[in-house]
A and B are shown apart, each in its own frame.
Chain A
Amino acid sequence: MSPDATVGIVLVSHSAALAEGAAELAAQISGGTVDIIPAGGTDDGRLGTSAAKVQRAVKLADSGAGVVILPDLGSAVLTVRALLGEAGDLPTRVELADAPFVEGVVAATVAAAGGGDIKAVLAAAEEARHARKL
C-alpha cells in the first residue's frame, strides 16, 4: 500500500440518481480530491442494488489505501455483506460504514481528503450519526 494513497468511497444506493447526487455533493464539499464512486440501481437501471456494480465501484475507488462503503437502506447492506463474505471478490481492504447516507459520505470524504487512513475515514462516517442539524 502506498503511504500517500487516499481512501476511496463507494456509495451503494437503491437509486442511481441518489448515489450520483450524494457523490457530487461530497466531492464539492471535500474539494474533489477523493475518489467517490456511485453504485446505485440495478444493472438494468431500475431501483434496487447490484453486486456487480458494487464490485466495479470498489475497484475504481481503490488506490491502495482501502475503500469505505456507505449503503443507503436495507438490502443495500445485504448486497454489500454478501460480497464481503465472498473472499477474493474484492481486491482491497473494504469497510462497510454504519452511517447516515448524506452526512456519512460528507464526513468520510472530508476525512479522506485530509489524509485519514481507512480507520479514521470509517470513524468519521460513523460519528456522523451523532451530528445534529439544528
Chain B
Amino acid sequence: MPASYEQAITLTGDLHARPAGALAVAAAKFSSAVSLTAGASSADAKSVLGVMGLGATTGQHIIVAAEGPDAEEAVAAIVAILAEATRVGA
C-alpha cells in the first residue's frame, strides 16, 4: 500500500561527495520517491548531483521524506546512511 513517511536527522558532519553517492545508490533501490530537504532546498535523493547541490553541512537539520510502497524502509535506509557517513572521521 502506498504510504508516505518522513524522519528528521541532524548532520554530525558535512555531506560530501562519497556519502552523497552512497545515498543516491541506496535510494535507487527503492520504488518510493525519496527526497531530502535542508532548509529551503530540496533534492531527489536518487540524484547524486542534487544531493551534493544541497551543500548540507554539520549541524544542519535534514528531513528525509518518502512516498510509495516501501517509504518507511527507504527513509530508514537513507537516515542510516546519513548518520553513518557524516559521522566525524568517517
Interface presence of B39 (CB below 8 A): no
A110 within 8 A of B: yes
A-B contact count (CB 8 A): 52
A30 is contacted by which of B21, B27, B49, B50 (Cβ under 8 Å)?
A: B21
- B25 CB within 8 Å of chain A: yes
Q: Which of A62-105 contact B (CB under 8 A)?
A: 103
Contact A131 B53 (CB under 8 A): yes
Interface of chain B residues 43 through 82 with chain A (CB within 8 A): 46-50, 53
Shortest Cβ distance from A88 into chain B, in angstroms?
A: 34
B interface majority secondary structure: helix
Tally of contact residues, A, Cβ under 8 A: 20
Q: Which of B7-54 contact A (CB under 8 A)?
A: 17-18, 20-22, 24-29, 46-50, 53
The answer on a CB contact under 8 Å between B21 and A133 is: no
Q: Are B53 and A29 in contact (CB under 8 A)?
A: no
Chain B CB within 10 A, most for which of A29, A116, A131: A29
CB distance A106 to B21 under 8 Å? Answer: yes
Cβ of A128 within 8 Å of any chain B Cβ, yes or no, is yes
Interface residues on B, range: 10 to 19
**B-chain residues with CB within 8 Å of residue A28 when the two chains form the complex:** 17-18, 21
Where the two chains meet, the residues of B that have a C-beta atom closer than 8 Å to any C-beta of A are 17-18, 20-22, 24-29, 46-50, 53
- Could you list some 30 contacts between A and B, CB below 8 A? A28-B18, A28-B21, A29-B17, A29-B18, A29-B21, A29-B48, A30-B21, A30-B25, A31-B21, A31-B25, A103-B49, A106-B17, A106-B21, A107-B48, A107-B49, A110-B24, A110-B48, A111-B28, A113-B21, A113-B28, A114-B24, A114-B25, A114-B26, A114-B28, A116-B28, A127-B49, A131-B47, A131-B49, A131-B53, A133-B53
